[in-house]
Structure formats: C-alpha cells, structure tokens
Structure 1
C-alpha cells in the first residue's frame, strides 16, 4: 500500500473511534504517521511543527531514541508483572522520581495516568485526616474520573457531578481578577482572604485537602502571583488540611524547572502530596503517580491502603520514566526549557503582543505559555470561539499545530524545542494574527 492509501485507511478506521470531549459528527482529524523531536509528519509526508506537545505532555519530544530503546528492551525482558511483586526497573524509576520530589517525600504510588493520581491523592488525604471535603478552584482541570472531574472547576464538571464533598473557590488571576485587584500583590492578598473565608465557612475540621494545580494549565497557564502558594500552605498548615499540588501538566520540565513548585515563591512551598503524569515520560506509555510525604505514608504502615490498579508500576511505563528522566538530565532538557522561555519564547511572544492588539496578555514560564486573545484590549473582551478556531486552522495550514482553549492559544512546545523552531513558530503566529486580527 502507498502512504496515501495508509492515510486514507487511518481516517476511514477513525470513524469507528469514539473521541473524547467531542461531538462525534463534527470531527476532522489529521492522520499522523510518525514523529521526531518537535516535528510530526502525516502519511503524505507533510511536516508539522508541534507547538501543542499533543496534550501538553510530550516534554522530551517525539520518538526520543533512548526512551524508545528502553521500552523495547524492557518488553523483550519482562513485558508486565503484577503490582505486589518487586521489580528492579520500577524501583529505579521511583528512586529517580523521588530525586526531584520536595524534601520529606519518601514514597511514590504509581497509577495509569493523571486522573488516577488525583483520585488516589484525594483518597490518601481523606484517610489520613479522617475528613471529607476537598477544596479546589473554579479555574482548574484535574482529570476525567469520579472525584477528579468534580474537583475540576471548568464546564466539564457540571454534567459529571456524582462525587461527594467538593467545594470550589476562586484562585488568583490578575488579568481577569475576581477581586477587583490592581496589582499582583493585591491579588494575592485578596485571593487568600477569599480562601480563608471559604475554609472558615465550610468548617476547617471538615476539610481534608486543598487541591491546586501549581500552575493551572488548561485553565490558562495561570502562574500564581508572588506569595499565593506560600499563603495557601500557611492556611492549610494552620487548619490541619493537606495541600495537594497537581503537577500533571506543569511538572517535569514544562515550566523550566523539574517541578513547577521549584519555580514558585522561591521553591519554598512543600506540599503534602504531589500528583504527576504527562511529562514524567512524555506520554510514551500511560502512567502517572502520587509523590507522598512521610507523615502520610506512615498512616498506612499498619493500615491497609484501600486502593490499587492492575497496571500500577507497569514495567514498560517504569522503563520509559527512568529513560526519560535520565535523558532529560544528561541532555540538559530542563535547562533548555528554562532558557527558551526566558531568552527566546517569552520575549518573542511579548513582541507579538506589542504588535497585535488581539493579544491581550502573554503569561507563562519555560515552555508553558498562553496568549489571552481579546476583541478589545481595554475591556479585555474575550474573542469568540470561532476566532480561535480560525487561528488554529490557519496555523495548521501553515504547518504549525497549536493547543487552543476557550479564547486562548497555549504555546506549549516540547522542552527540547530549538531557537530556530521557536523563530519559525513566531513567524507563523505573526502572519496568522495579522490576518485574523485584522479581520
């Protein structure tokens, strides 16, 4: 069969696939055949620069040879084994994860993905505290399983509200403040006051955990203003509440740090639990997990933890984690993400915003950025969905794959992205914003 035939077959067979978050009759996917680094190719050989990192997870880039080889070698040696066994590659992967964990973290529970990780972190917090309620923000996404989707704040929660004990509050967002703030410092002060009032109104002794994305991703790459996470930590400690930081999207290089918490408030905030997935192995094999601080692990020394997964600590996933994290360190990939954000991508996006009034705000760090698109820079009126759709399509026509959410374009290339690739993407954005923004 020719490549054209293979592409046609892929699209024909895809009609039998039930796609997530989609109206099934209105899909128009690209059939991707292969990838390498920051680039993808369809079956016709057309090249795309991937500035979406797919689901903001391919941090190490596509088809990294060391990770691919590690998976293949492990598959040949031992493709799967049950969680109760000890397994060398699993142990090495956990040890590598703990090297990057905050101080005082001693164990890792491995899951099949980020939503599983959030589910089990909530379970641990509830069992450890003997409390029930979980507080999370309206601008958040934590996964598509029972408690995780109800902890989520965006529209996806509403048709799925079957889990108990969830309370939402507003986190800080200076550009679109809920608190009428006129500075980041005031936003922090008022957001913390709001959270404290919610805690007191709900009853501190009923609250098991505060669950926050360290840097909310799908909600808009909302880097917390200075002092906010530290203030949340203080409130949680004062009331005996566990602080869960969700690093599923923000972790392992995405912000230019090993964990996003390392780059916020001077890296001084130590949570009680950290959830992760995505970047830990760039999604090569489905995996996630919970980093657990020692006080919580001790709760389960003599008490059974009532949770488990058939594929927890799967050898292929473990091998991919170990190879990915070792490659990221030896090749300076996290350092590259930090440099790109500080020296190349951040300045380039701010230059675009100065040129194109459609870009109301640029925010982010590392290779984790969002462009907040507006029809009126003064009123900050969000552009309609049709405008974002037109921008996404125009970029794809020019060979650039972007991540779009609500009125935003998220600029989230792999951590290995080069200066030249950033320049190529910026040139496409410039052309598209000039075309769509002028219309």
Structure 2
C-alpha cells in the first residue's frame, strides 16, 4: 500500500494519526525522508540534505553502514527474540566489548531500549544500592521523557508535566557554565563554586543517593566543565558516600574525541548511562553500566527491575557491529582531529558575526550560542517563548539551512553541531559556508 501513496498522502496520514512530539500538532509538517547514505539523507522529492547534527546527535556512523545493516539481518535470521532471563551470543559478545571501551571499573550492564530507560534504571539502582532517596540534578540538563527521567531533568521541558508527575526526591543545583555562570562567578578565580554549591546541597538535604550529570551537557548547549570540576565532584561524592551518575546518552561513543566524555577528566563514575551512538541509532538500545561494588551488592540483594525488551537480541548484535566499525575506522581519534578543524572554522565565524556570543565544543560536539549583545550575553529568545510556540531566531536560521540542503539542530538560542563522525572537511566547509550566509538573519536583529 505504501508504494501507492503519494508523498503528500504519507505526510497527511502521519500528521492525522501520529503525535508530533515536543510540538503543537498544527505546527508539525514532517519532511518525508526516503533514504540516506554517508552524511546525507534524501527526501521524497529527491532533494539531498547534509546531516550536520546526526539527527538527534545519534547517527554517528552516518547512514547506510553495510556492516551494521548486515548485523541486523544476521541477528534476525539467527534469533529475533528471547526473554531476558536467557542469554545469547550477542549478549555475551557485547558485554566483552563494553569492558574494552567503557571507562575502567564499570563491569555490570543492564540493556534497555532508550536513554530515558537507561536513566530510569540508573536512578532505581542508586536508590536500591544506597538505601537513600534523593537525587541531585542540575538545571540545564535533560535526561529523558518518562516519569523518572523527566523528573530528574532540569530544563523547562519538565514544566508542562508538573506538579502531577514531579518525581519526589529530586532537587536541582547550578549547572557548570563558564560562559554564563549561574552563580555570576568567573573561572578559575571561582574555585569551581558550582561544585561547592552541590556539596552544600548534599550536606543540607540529607538522604542523598546520587548526583546525576550529563558529562557534557547536550541539547542545552554543549556545556563543557573546566579542568578540575569532575575531579572535585568525584571527591565530594566519595566524602559524602553518594554515587556519581554520568549521563553519556549524547556525549558518548566518540562524539567528543574520547570513547566517553567523562574520559577527558580521568574520572570514574559509579554508574554510566548511554544510548544513541551505541548502535548509531540503527536500532534502539540503551545501556546502564555500574561499578563492581554495585554489582557485588546485587549478588545478595534483589535487582528489582526489568522488562520484556531488556537485552533484546536484535539490538545487541548491531551494537557489536557498531563498536567494531568505530574501531575499524578509528572514529574516536578522527572525531578529535576533525573537531579541531571544526573549532577553527567556527571561531572564525565568531570573529565575523556580532550575533555569536560563544563557540564551544569537544571533538565533533559543538554549540554556537547566539546573543543580542555579546557583552551582556543576552539571548534572542526565552524558554517561555519556546513553550508558547513562538518563532525563534535559531529556527529561522535552521529553516534557511534546510532550504540550502543542510540539517542543523536548533535549540533556544543556540545550535548543536554534531555531524556523523565520518564527515569530511569538504562537507564541513559546505555547511559552514551556508551557516555564514544565514547568520545574517541574527546579525540584522542587533540594533
């Protein structure tokens, strides 16, 4: 039947019978995409788009990787499903591979089907292990859309669900943001006061099980901690006998030029959550990895968690293939190398455009923050405007980029630039030439 539908019918049926998530239905006009190859995807009219943000910062291998596609086919032919109380070849092979690439000391794994489920599992594990209740999150954070993970999310996406689904026991502290410090300090003179504030919270809240952090904040602006932040936070957690949870759903899998972002600071988390790049998003897989001390606890205590699609064979086989492809193509080192090139190009744009407040990034994970005033760091738009569905300046620029054949993820007053790790310098140049042109929209609004 699908072959007989026009592209417009496909769009109309989708709009009529599907939710356009994180938007009002009347504002949704989905692009009908039919194929992808390398760093490019193609719509039903035949127009090609360079994917400059790896969709939702997840298609790390690009499109149409034949090794991963074959692994899906092979796993489906071998064993499409078995309940999680059994095991499979793919489960054992992936577990062995994870011991090679994850931060040292993470030895026990729970497999689910998304990043939000991985965070749900992590928080449940932390509470079971510690016997404590509270979790400290940070305000500029996103951890998922189900009840627990949304309750632990600091940004305004949790507002529409409150107070009915607010998660008891979650309290929020300041994010680490050296560009626009929420405590109005400056690094390094501040002595990393944002970490000190979390310590103050821990000691005054009581009953704290864990601190939950995106190792590098993703959608909320690729916020990169300064040297010493995670080392200090690790010490604070140890001194107060609480767990440190690193959310690497977006920042993991080579994105920052290390296998995992937390590796930049040589800090070992007690729990790590990830998804997205673990299969290059070809199939849905999430992972919660824990330290040996937590693993030992559950040898004698009930692991009170699980679901039907836990450790689903069709998700695990492709994860093995994805890791092997990353190793074969040396993509972690390549992300670091191409990231240096990207950073030079983006900083050249900052020098040229008065609307760019800051450029920041690691590897192939960058943010370009737009401001009305570089000195005051005033954003063009607010959270409330976004929630009200008002047009944002970054969305106008992103629309022009799409018209130029480039997909770029816009959010609030910044862009998240996170292309597939296979992107070439020529493709980067092509995208940034268009970006350079369309930033004139924001420049013109500076009075």
TM-score bin (small chain): over 0.9
Q: 1:436 Cα shift?
A: 4.2
- Alignment map for 1:425-436 (pairs within 5 Å): 425-436=431-442
Tell me the equivalent position of 1:416: 422
Matches within 5 A, 1:18-417: 18-160=19-161, 161-182=165-186, 184-187=187-190, 189-203=192-206, 206-263=207-264, 265=265, 268-342=266-340, 344-384=341-381, 386-417=392-423
Specify the alignment match of 2:7 in structure 1: 7
Report Cα offsets for 1:269-319 as digits up to 9, x if no partner.
Answer: 111000010011111111101111000011110222010011111111101
Distance (Å, rounded) in 2 between the aligned partners of 1:4 and 1:365: 46
The alpha-carbon distance between structure 1 residues 188 and 408, as it changes in their structure 2 partners (threshold 3 A), is farther
**C-alpha contact (below 8 Å) 2:39/2:51 kept by paired residues:** yes
Q: Deviations over 1:89-133 (max 9, x none)?
A: 111112212211222221111011101100111111111111000
Shift of 1:190: 1.2
What secondary structure is seen at the aligned counterpart in 1 of 2:370?
A: strand
Farther-moved stretch of structure 1 (399-408 vs 100-109): 100-109
Inter-partner Cα distance in structure 1 for 2:441 and 2:174:
35
Q: Find the aligned partners of 2:435 and 2:224 in 1 and give their Cα distance.
A: 23
Q: Distance in 1 between matches of 2:52 and 2:210?
A: 34
TM-score of the superposition, structure 2-length normalised? 0.94
8 Å CA contact retained: 1:6, 1:43: no
When structure 1 is superposed on structure 2, of 10-19 and 36-45 the one drifting more is 10-19
TM-superposed deviation, 1:159: 2.7
Could you say what secondary structure the match of 2:46 adopts? coil
**How far apart are the structure 1 equivalents of 2:166 and 2:183?**
30
Between the aligned partners of 2:190 and 2:47, the Cα distance in structure 1 is: 46
Task: Tell me the TM-score normalized by structure 1.
Answer: 0.96
State the match for 2:388 in structure 1: none
Q: Is the 8 A contact 1:102 1:270 kept in 2?
A: yes
Shift of 1:8: 2.0
Query: Residue 2 of structure 1: CA displacement?
Result: 11
1:135-191 CA distance string (max 9 Å, x none): 010010000111110110011122334321101000211111122223x32345211
Structure 1 counterpart SS, 2:371: strand
Offset at residue 338 of structure 1 (A):
0.9
Separation in 1, partners of 2:254, 2:200: 34
Q: Deviations over 1:379-416 (max 9, x none)?
A: 11101352112101110110010111110111111111
What displacement does 1:7 show?
A: 2.0
SS at match of 2:372: strand
Match of 2:386 in 1: none
* CA-CA distance at 1:256 after TM superposition: 1.2
Gap runs ≥5 in structure 2: 382-390
Q: What is the aligned length?
A: 432
Contact 1:188/1:226 (CA < 8 Å) preserved in 2? no
- Cα distance in 2 for residues equivalent to 1:4 and 1:39: 26
Q: What secondary structure sits across from 2:137 in the alignment?
A: strand
